[in-house]
């Protein structure tokens, strides 16, 4: 595994914690409050890092389109927790691989070999087997919400990949989090005005998610896109489903079953097959 692929995998380990933190936080506080504190945490962490490291932040109008899709994606992502569990969202997040493969082939003109298609198929089937028990409890509106969220994230990733050819990851992430924080603050004022400054344990979960997933994980991910194909990055990203469920076992005390072992093996085979 090359250096960029390793950084992607480390990013996935951190990003995969997001559904768990979100499920813990959203059950204790309204969704918009939690989402605002999560994004503002990532923004504050990045701002402090930029100041300490004396990084130069430069705005470009090219940021606006990917930021628009990111804001749409993150808003629907958090909203989906009012309908689905973090484990189900981890499974449905695999649709992002399909969207990303399609975009990388159609728009980025990346070569998608039959081997990659087979690998993606194994990952999707493995994810379904992995989450078969949870899939029986899908909420249809929740499924639609998280699927559109993954589509918007995939479009954002396409534009981010293009932006990395001219701009650094810190500028991209800084303005992404800034604009997203403003949008979520507006939603908080509209829907949860009286609870905006109520501090409880959910705020701690929000700040942990903002720092670990949105700041460290996302920065690692974006910085690696300059050196790795988008479709390859998201095959590696497919491990997030397994990692998220592992986190849920630790936090919520669930137990492994045979289907989950089989699903995990299929996902692993898909990744190995893709990287041969």
Answer whether 229's CB lies under 8 Å from 264's CB.
no
For residue 192, pLDDT over 80 is answered with: no
Rg value, the chain, Cα? 18
Q: Which element (helix H / strand E) includes 92?
A: helix 86-92
Q: Bigger pLDDT: 18 or 127?
A: 18
Closest to 8 in 3D by CA, of 182, 186, 230:
230
DSSP for 108-152? S-----HHHHHHHHHHHHHHHHHTHHHHTT--HHHHHHHHHHHHH
Q: Which range is least confidently modeled, 53-57, 81-85, 122-126, 142-146? A: 122-126
Over residues 154-190, the pLDDT tens digits come to 888 888 878 877 888 788 889 988 999 999 899 888 8
Residue 241: predicted pLDDT: 67
Residue 124: predicted pLDDT: 72
* Model confidence, pTM: 0.72
* C-alpha–C-alpha distance, residues 34 and 164, integer Å: 30
Residue 157: predicted pLDDT: 82
For residue 28, pLDDT over 60 is answered with: no
72: confidence class by pLDDT, cuts 50, 70, 90: very high
Ranges 22-31, 49-58, 86-95, 105-114, most confident? 49-58
């Amino acid at each position: 595994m090359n250096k960029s692929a390793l950084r992607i995998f480390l990013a996935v380990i951190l990003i995969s914690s997001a559904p768990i933190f979100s499920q813990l936080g959203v059950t204790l506080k309204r969704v918009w409050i939690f989402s605002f504190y999560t994004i503002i945490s990532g923004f504050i962490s990045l701002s402090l890092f930029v100041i300490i490291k004396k990084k130069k932040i430069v705005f470009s109008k090219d940021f606006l389109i990917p930021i628009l899709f990111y804001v749409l994606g993150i808003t629907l992502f958090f909203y989906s927790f009012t309908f689905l569990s973090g484990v189900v969202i981890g499974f449905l997040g695999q649709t992002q691989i399909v969207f990303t493969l399609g975009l990388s082939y159609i728009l980025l003109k990346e070569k998608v070999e039959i081997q990659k298609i087979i690998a993606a198929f194994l990952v999707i089937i493995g994810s379904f087997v992995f989450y078969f028990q949870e899939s029986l409890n899908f909420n249809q509106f929740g499924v639609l919400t998280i699927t559109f969220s993954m589509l918007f994230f995939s479009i954002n990733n396409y534009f981010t990949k293009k932006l990395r050819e001219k701009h650094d990851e810190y500028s991209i992430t800084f303005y992404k989090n800034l604009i997203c924080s403003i949008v979520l603050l507006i939603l908080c004022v509209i829907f949860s005005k009286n609870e905006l400054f109520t501090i409880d344990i959910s705020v701690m979960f929000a700040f942990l998610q903002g720092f670990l997933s949105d700041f460290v994980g996302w920065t690692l991910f974006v910085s690696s896109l300059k050196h790795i194909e988008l479709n390859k990055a998201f095959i590696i990203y497919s491990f997030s489903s397994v990692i998220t469920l592992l986190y849920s076992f630790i936090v919520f005390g669930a137990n492994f079953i045979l289907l989950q072992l089989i699903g995990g093996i299929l996902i692993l085979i898909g990744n190995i097959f893709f990287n041969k």
